[in-house]
Structure 1
Amino acid sequence: MSPETNSLRVRWSREWRSLQVRLSRWLTSTTYNKKWLLLGVIIGIIAGLGAIAFYEALRLATYFFLEVLAGYRVPLPISEGARAASAGFARPWAIPLVACVGALAGAILVFAVAPEAEGHGTDAAIAAVHHNPRGVRVRAVIVKIIASALTIGSGGSGGREGPTGQISAGFGSFLARFLDLSPADARITVASGIGSGIGAIFGAPLGGAILATEILYRDDFEVEALLPSFIASIVGYAVWGSVEGFGPLFGYVGNYHLTSAMQLLWFAIIGIIGGGVGLLYAKTFYAMADYFSRLPLARWIRPALGGLIVGLIALAIPEVIGTGYGWIQAGLGPQLEHIPLWIVLILPFARIATTGLSIGSGGSGGIFGPGMVIGAFVGAAVWRLLEPVVPSLGHDPAPFVIVGMMACFGSISRAPLAVMLMVAEMTGTLSLVVPAMLAVGLATLIVRRNDDTIYRSQLRSRIESPAHRILTGLPLLALVPAGDAMASPRCVLKESDQPSTMREHLTAANVSAAPVVDAQGRYLGVVNLPEVDTERGAGEKSPPTGLATPVEGAAPESVGAIDATYAPIHQSIHLDSVLETLTSTTQRWAAVIDDDRRVVGTISISDIVRNYRRTVQANLQRISELGGTTGISEFVINEQSSMVGRSVRTSHTPRGVLITAIERGRDVIRPTGDTTLKAGDRLTVLGATEDLEVLRQLTSAE
């Protein structure tokens, strides 16, 4: 590398770190609303651009593989041109070969570069939210775009949601790493990325925002992600629509009016059948995935085998090719009557089988889209069978197709509300809310009774989430900031130190690792003794400079001996978030930084345990000092009160009183000794009667 190139690299690295410091400092000091307004806009822009990139890659791959090579034109929904399918195959022999080659190319790319991009992607994104929101590698995002386009574009049965969700989640994860977001904020960032990306590519921002909160659990919501998801979803949809158009995916289908309660009976039938078919979809998909995983074949061969079989099935049932959204469009109108009845009846089961072959074999694509096709033709089959014998059923299949989509996939995804809203947005109608509620409710009851889901990374509720489990099981951790629990750093190394100098400092401090800072004292990463020895053995021609925050995930990305994957902890972050960070990775300690990213200490799990015990003892001591006549009261701090502007510790609060919460505007604050009191704060306090009276006088300035 020439001196000019190295100088440019170092300069760029410093500018990158400077931007990182400024943004991190601002996010730490600003209000909740401002923070998530900025992050939501950034996430939305990235999600929208990611959705556009994947959609265009998929469209190009479909054109090349199916139209140019195989001579088959797939049908398209209204928003994409409302094109009908080819009457037949110009080159039937090419369909199995194209599907096999496309799946093979995608599989080779995945397993050679980013194995985590295997499969449908949504499960990986959900798992990242729960366990390692900072760990999604950017290379997995790039690989997912290309591999999914190859698999689906060559005829594989897959959808857009999985790739788009993982793409947006990956960029959200990078953002969390770059800005050193807390674990709680990192989770919300990745979840918002999932919802905004899926909402953008389906033209369903409201449903996407709700999906971000609902898809993470079987029976719960991540309510903290709701506002950020709304912001990110509307921005992502605006970016998407500016390029691809704002119309509903399937156009404006029309209004449906209930005229008799008896009409609900037919939708109840759809709900019951849809729930059963949804269960069959999940069980078949994972049974096939398990079967393929046990085949004595190389992992990259299995998707090719699955693609070959899908291509052979497509020769008899072309409706299994690709995303299938064009066939949903056909099912929404009079074209449904021109599709042979046996195709309508068998298509849900054919799609279940081909999705397992395409994605369950290890291919890259989504399972949301196939679920919509399956549900749509469940509804279409009910209409086709009943319409000749039930005159009151009506001559429009659209209501049955729409409710079928909602019931089948809304139930098995364990996200009924989000899927209902998304399908309503994709069809441009909310007139089916009442029959949809009945059908989706019945389908969900059937799925819940069998306790199954299509997304196996979902947790049952927030209580099972590692982050929420820590807060629920050890609530006092949320009261202690890292700055109060940290220890003084035993050793801090400089970026310019030679490996031999680093080793001397580490040995003198009797530690195997230490934080590294740049010339301005700002945190860069961590040096481990084995890495120093490796670097030392390679020679000491130049100091390890030029470090930038890596864009890859948990795998170490080092320059010289410096490992930048060790996330620092801001001194204001509370111990519940610190413990989550340390237990979700191989990290067992972390550097503590201030607003300027300067190292002010270190913190380990033993430090957390020690301070938790101290906090418990202090709280037990205060509770033991309460008399027999105790109670809970609320007081509002008057503007003239002497408590205004003081911290809880210096506010002259009676010793026998415990302030359990402070309500400030719309925020509820867990107070610590350093929490500053403000006029208008509503205090919830526990204490003896006489002490509560003293506090009342203090707050009211009597």
Structure 2
Amino acid sequence: MKIGLKELPYYEKWIIAGFLIGVISGITITLFYFTTELFSILILRTISGIEPPKAFGDVASLSLPLPRGYIYLLPLSVGLGGLMVGIILYFIPEIKGSGTDYSISAYHNSKEIKWYIAPIKLVASSLTLGSGGSAGDEGPSAVISASIGNSLTRRLGLPLEDSRRAIAIGIGTGIGIVFKSPIAGALLSAEILYRRDLEPDVIFPSLISASTGYVIYGYFTGYEPLLGFYNLPFDPLRLPIYAIMGVISGILSIFYVKSFRWVKETFSKVPLWISPTIGGIIMGGIGILFPEVIGKGYGWIDLAEFQDLTKFSSSSPLPFILILLFLPFAKIIATDLTVGSGGSGGIFAPGLVIGAFAGLDLGLIFNKITPTVVPYVAPVVVIGMVSFLAGSVKVPLSAIILVTEITDSIQLLPGTMIAVAISYIVSGRYSLIEGLPESRKESPVHSAEFEVPLLEKIRVRECHLDETSVREDDQIERVLRITKEKGLRSVPVTDDNNNFVGVIYTRNLKRGRKVRDFVIKGVPVISPDSSLEHAWEVMVASRSTSVPVVDGGKLMGTLTFTSMLDRYKEREEEVFKGPDKSDKEENSKHES
């Protein structure tokens, strides 16, 4: 018998699907890398003569200087890239900005990410980065891979639940590939979806897809850690400095988030097709004073880590001390203008650069104060990266693993964890990703799992109560007549003041006697404030289809199973009234 992919058990299914997502994502993100390099040659290098330094794990050499070239033409270069991106945005506005929040929103709302988003995002992001815009390649890579995963699983006929899951897998896969950190990517796919929770179901598939994509991407770009090898020993005397770095990163994270939102809100009033051009021109002006903000900036992280400070002042008219002091803020503002205006690029990778610049400043200060404790700035630079990323994006676990992978700095883990914890606390609820659910409970896709059952929400007072009852002094003949007419097996009994006494059952009744001779006292009752869940439990326990409702000792009536069922159906219709027709049609189409 032929078995389809969707019929396979969970692990077998996702080994195959994860491998396919990883292969296609690896090839596509490799194409993204070289397309960005091509546009960098055609736009940034041709117009301004600028070639920013590359990271250790990049294809180019770290020692390459930043030539001054025609640096005053940088606004033209970045503005031109913004103009071309703006033209694309005019037709397809979904690809603006980082795109990570777009993918996360699609995950939580079970929306489809169209297949064409991947190639268009690739081109738009290559234009933004290749023209010198201050942004990262991780956001576009996440969207590209999420689009691939979502489209592929739909094409394979997997259920909508798996297609939704493939979005999260794609986010982690794309980031894991471009940072050459598949373990961090797999963990990030589960952590980035919530403020304080994880999505465990996506970790295993992400491990498969991220590692597969990494093998393909690394074949063309190398398997070395992106930011080189950190080989300095750990010194516990530096822990207080790392704690200070955590505080600084937390405060800077708040500034980054607030400034990004303000710039984004400001540019929302500008036509989308022209806003990346305006943002690019202003960003280019900042780049003239601070060339370190141009492009992704990974090479500057390595130069900071290796304390090669000569290149930081080689291409700027500003004094060296001002460059170092204002670099973190310059990179923040440059990224705000590039991505907040609609330019297509990531906002997490610039966070690594910002944290590295802040770490460089703090490291140099303590290098002067206590040169025996801080003989090199490298450890503070690494701690600055991870603590700032954790504070601004709210992914502490992934940030620790990510920076450990891309710098090979496992010996720094104690200091890393301290700084990350402090930055996470200091930065509070501020996050670059807006609208994140606090936990799985708040996500629309998991609401049914955590929702209080409807029977627990409905109160007895909402139901129609049967007002039939008999008094203690009534004859049995009246009980028999009432139960026969209404089809009851029992009737509540009251005294002359309507105080509840008990219940009389129709079995074993003898004519010519009074109700008080057969009344059963101490039977279970419910109140008007009781839930239907509780009422149902009482009915089951007493093997009855009705239960007396008593309030303050007075009989209010009898709740029957029929009345309870009627009210439940009414509330169910209220809850599901008017579902989105398009969603119904999409589900029906996909299932067929």
Displacement of 1:196: 1.0
Task: State, as a whole percentage, how many aligned pairs show the same letter.
Answer: 35
Displacement of 1:93: 3.4
Which residue of structure 2 lines up, in the alignment, with residue 271 of structure 1?
246
Provide the secondary structure at the position in 2 that maps to 1:312.
helix
CA distance in 2, matches of 1:352, 1:327: 15
Contact 2:151 / 2:163 at 8 angstroms: preserved in 1? no
Which residue of structure 1 lines up, in the alignment, with residue 433 of structure 2?
455
Which residue of structure 1 lines up, in the alignment, with residue 384 of structure 2?
404
Which residue of structure 2 lines up, in the alignment, with residue 131 of structure 1?
109
CA distance in 1, matches of 2:245, 2:287: 27
Say if 2:77 is the partner of 1:98. Answer: yes
Contact 1:310 / 1:358 at 8 angstroms: preserved in 2? yes
Provide the secondary structure at the position in 2 that maps to 1:393.
coil
CA distance in 1, matches of 2:351, 2:218: 24
Displacement of 1:226: 1.1
| Superposition pairs of residues 327-342 of structure 1, within 5 angstroms | 327-336=300-309, 339=312, 340-342=320-322
CA distance in 1, matches of 2:66, 2:84: 28
Say if 2:309 is the partner of 1:309. Answer: no
Q: Match of 1:248, as an amino acid?
A: P
Residue number among 139, 150, 157 corresponding to 2:127 in the alignment = 150
Q: Which whole-Å deviations, capped at 9, do the CAs of 1:324-363 have from their partners, x for residues lacking one?
A: 1111110010303663332122111001111111110111
Q: Which whole-Å deviations, capped at 9, do the CAs of 1:140-179 have from their partners, x for residues lacking one?
A: 2111111111111111100011100000001111013212
Contact 1:77 / 1:250 at 8 angstroms: preserved in 2? yes
Contact 1:412 / 1:447 at 8 angstroms: preserved in 2? yes
Query: Judging changes above 3 Å, is the alpha-carbon distance between structure 1 residues 279 and 128 closer, same or farther for their aligned structure 2 residues?
Result: same
CA distance in 2, matches of 1:413, 1:585: 35
| Superposition pairs of residues 109-508 of structure 1, within 5 angstroms | 109-112=88-91, 114-133=92-111, 135-258=112-235, 260=236, 262-295=237-270, 298-336=271-309, 339=312, 340-448=320-428, 451-473=429-451
- Using structure 2 for the length normalisation, give the TM-score: 0.75
Query: Judging changes above 3 Å, is the alpha-carbon distance between structure 1 residues 63 and 591 closer, same or farther for their aligned structure 2 residues?
Result: closer
Which residue of structure 2 lines up, in the alignment, with residue 46 of structure 1?
24
Q: Match of 2:268, as an amino acid?
A: S
CA distance in 2, matches of 1:424, 1:98: 35
Residue number among 107, 112, 131 corresponding to 2:86 in the alignment = 107
Displacement of 1:446: 1.2
Displacement of 1:111: 2.0
Provide the secondary structure at the position in 1 that maps to 2:372.
helix
CA distance in 2, matches of 1:108, 1:53: 22
Contact 2:367 / 2:377 at 8 angstroms: preserved in 1? no
Displacement of 1:120: 0.7
Q: Match of 1:291, as an amino acid?
A: T
| Superposition pairs of residues 579-658 of structure 1, within 5 angstroms | 586-588=582-584
Provide the secondary structure at the position in 1 that maps to 2:308.
helix
CA distance in 2, matches of 1:590, 1:66: 44
Displacement of 1:73: 1.6
CA distance in 2, matches of 1:192, 1:476: 33
Provide the secondary structure at the position in 2 that maps to 1:334.
coil
List alignment gaps of at least 5 residues for structure 1: 1-21, 478-578, 600-702
CA distance in 2, matches of 1:42, 1:583: 34
CA distance in 2, matches of 1:375, 1:221: 25
CA distance in 2, matches of 1:474, 1:183: 24
Query: Judging changes above 3 Å, is the alpha-carbon distance between structure 1 residues 257 and 83 closer, same or farther for their aligned structure 2 residues?
Result: closer
Residue number among 11, 36, 48 corresponding to 1:58 in the alignment = 36
Query: Judging changes above 3 Å, is the alpha-carbon distance between structure 1 residues 90 and 28 closer, same or farther for their aligned structure 2 residues?
Result: closer
CA distance in 1, matches of 2:391, 2:72: 38
Q: Match of 2:74, as an amino acid?
A: I
Displacement of 1:593: 9.8
Provide the secondary structure at the position in 1 that maps to 2:205.
helix
Displacement of 1:53: 1.4
Contact 1:107 / 1:364 at 8 angstroms: preserved in 2? no
Displacement of 1:263: 1.9
Contact 1:409 / 1:419 at 8 angstroms: preserved in 2? yes
Contact 1:74 / 1:84 at 8 angstroms: preserved in 2? no
Q: Match of 1:300, as an amino acid?
A: W
Which residue of structure 2 lines up, in the alignment, with residue 692 of structure 1?
none
Query: Judging changes above 3 Å, is the alpha-carbon distance between structure 1 residues 313 and 85 closer, same or farther for their aligned structure 2 residues?
Result: farther
Query: Judging changes above 3 Å, is the alpha-carbon distance between structure 1 residues 103 and 589 closer, same or farther for their aligned structure 2 residues?
Result: closer
CA distance in 1, matches of 2:378, 2:129: 26
- Using structure 1 for the length normalisation, give the TM-score: 0.63
CA distance in 2, matches of 1:204, 1:291: 35
Q: Which whole-Å deviations, capped at 9, do the CAs of 1:286-334 have from their partners, x for residues lacking one?
A: 1100011124xx2111110110111111111101110011111100103
CA distance in 2, matches of 1:427, 1:185: 34
Contact 1:50 / 1:197 at 8 angstroms: preserved in 2? no
Query: Judging changes above 3 Å, is the alpha-carbon distance between structure 1 residues 466 and 265 closer, same or farther for their aligned structure 2 residues?
Result: same
CA distance in 2, matches of 1:591, 1:265: 55
Displacement of 1:471: 2.2
Q: Larger C-alpha radius of gyration, 1 or 2? A: 2
Contact 2:66 / 2:311 at 8 angstroms: preserved in 1? no
Provide the secondary structure at the position in 2 that maps to 1:455.
coil
Aligned residues: 464
Which residue of structure 1 lines up, in the alignment, with residue 506 of structure 2?
none
Contact 2:6 / 2:157 at 8 angstroms: preserved in 1? no
Query: Judging changes above 3 Å, is the alpha-carbon distance between structure 1 residues 179 and 583 closer, same or farther for their aligned structure 2 residues?
Result: farther
Provide the secondary structure at the position in 2 that maps to 1:365.
coil
Contact 1:270 / 1:379 at 8 angstroms: preserved in 2? yes
CA distance in 2, matches of 1:328, 1:229: 28
CA distance in 1, matches of 2:70, 2:579: 56
Contact 2:363 / 2:374 at 8 angstroms: preserved in 1? no
Q: Match of 2:68, as an amino acid?
A: F
Which residue of structure 1 lines up, in the alignment, with residue 4 of structure 2?
26
Provide the secondary structure at the position in 2 that maps to 1:456.
coil
CA distance in 1, matches of 2:74, 2:585: 55
Provide the secondary structure at the position in 2 that maps to 1:221.
coil
Query: Judging changes above 3 Å, is the alpha-carbon distance between structure 1 residues 158 and 463 closer, same or farther for their aligned structure 2 residues?
Result: same
Provide the secondary structure at the position in 1 that maps to 2:411.
coil
Contact 2:367 / 2:375 at 8 angstroms: preserved in 1? yes
C-alpha RMSD over aligned residues: 2.4
